[in-house]
Amino acid sequence: MKLGDTLPDRNVHVWLVELDQNVATVKTCSKTLSGDEQERASQFRFENLKNDFVLCRGILRALLGRYLSIEADRIAFAYGLKGKPQIKSPESPLRFNLAHSGRFAIYAFAVGCELGIDIEEIKRIADQENIVRRFFSREECEEWLELDASQRDGGFFRCWTRKEAYIKAVGGGLSIPLDGFRVSLRPGVPAQLIHADGDSGAAARWRLCSLTPVDGYVGALAFADQVRDVAILPRLSATEVLELVNGTEPFPPAAKEPIPCHTPQSHT
């Protein structure tokens, strides 16, 4: 199967996967992990957290294996200086990123395009304002403080996930200060990277998409390219993903209406 048959060059596929801790599914995923992944899994003190890690990595391998038409355990990863994973073997233009929060993992795949994705479960954070003042840019902090109290949780997580998605796409990790760039956060305002280190021209080369994958969660996708269609694939459990990739059904399943990521009009 050719990569273009499953993932068109101008598309980004986003998968939302519920981490059902089915014993058989966890065992199947575990068998595909590399030695270093097995070692990382063994370091978790709590069984549920260990299982989540095994499922996240196992499902990543299962999806990559189907895109690349290769067995999941034959995929080898390399890691950038700041820890961003990429495919080392087999050689491929396929790029990916993943995130995990609560009961869900989220994955993004594209051809020849760096990606970053994040998901967060929306919940009250006691020291939210202190986090905003410490890590958000001056403009973001001002915008957030102007929000009605009932809108601040949503504004906080919109901003946080958009920042995380951008940092993960760049691959800069903690070397990129969170207050060194600005994203949109107001409700109803399209997701946008407004400036990076004060440079709006550099920011214009990046696209941000706001994701609402499931009630109670918020997410964001960042990629370095012109307009691409972002296809949100139907939500599946980890068990269902394994059944899909090991079955004979067309891959991927029918997507919802693609979400165009574009550069919205700038705002202040």
Query: 52-70: per-residue pLDDT in tens?
Result: 999 999 999 999 999 999 9
Q: Which of 121-130, 134-143, 188-197 has the highest mean pLDDT?
A: 134-143
- Helices (H) then strands (E): counts for the chain: 9, 13
Q: How far apart are CA 268 and CA 142, in angstroms?
A: 11
Which pLDDT band holds residue 268 (cuts at 50, 70, 90)? very low
**Sequence-ordered list of residues with C-beta below 8 angstroms from that of 177, at least 6 positions apart, any chain:** none
- Selected residue with higher pLDDT from 58 and 267: 58
Mean pLDDT of 15-36: 96
Distances, alpha carbon 65 to alpha carbons 12, 69, 72, 129, in Å = 17, 6, 5, 43
Nearest to 102 by CA among 22, 219, 188: 219
Which pLDDT band holds residue 47 (cuts at 50, 70, 90)? very high
What number of other Cβ atoms are within 10 A of residue 109's Cβ?
27
- Selected residue with higher pLDDT from 91 and 268: 91
- Selected residue with higher pLDDT from 252 and 195: 195
Mean pLDDT of 10-36: 95
SS3 of 165-222:
HHHHHHCCHHHCCHHHEEECCCCCCCCCEEEECCEHHHHCCCEEEEECCCCCEEEEEE
SS3 at position 239:
helix
- Within 13 Å, how many C-alpha atoms sit on residue 157's CB side? 18
Mean pLDDT of 114-140: 94
pLDDT score at 262? 44
pLDDT score at 3? 61
| Cross-strand pairs, 218 | 120
Which pLDDT band holds residue 252 (cuts at 50, 70, 90)? low
Average pLDDT score, the chain: 88
pLDDT score at 263? 42
pLDDT score at 266? 38
Domain spanning 6-261: which CATH class is it, in words?
alpha beta
Distances, alpha carbon 12 to alpha carbons 83, 225, 229, in Å = 22, 11, 6
Helix (H) or strand (E) segment spanning residue 122: none
Which pLDDT band holds residue 74 (cuts at 50, 70, 90)? very high
- Within 13 Å, how many C-alpha atoms sit on residue 246's CB side? 13
Q: Amino acid identity of 42? A: S
* Range in 16-20, 165-169, 189-193, 262-266 with the lowest mean pLDDT: 262-266
Displacement of CA 229 from its chain's centroid (Å)? 16
Which pLDDT band holds residue 267 (cuts at 50, 70, 90)? very low
* Range in 78-82, 90-94, 241-245 with the lowest mean pLDDT: 78-82
- Strand segments, DSSP code E, in 5-103 are 11-18, 76-79, 85-89, 94-101
SS3 at position 163:
helix
pLDDT score at 265? 41
Question: What does the pLDDT look like over 178-225, one tens digit per residue?
Answer: 999 999 999 999 999 999 877 777 788 899 999 988 999 999 999 987
Mean pLDDT of 142-164: 96
Which pLDDT band holds residue 264 (cuts at 50, 70, 90)? very low
**For the chain, what percent of residues have pLDDT higher than 70?**
89
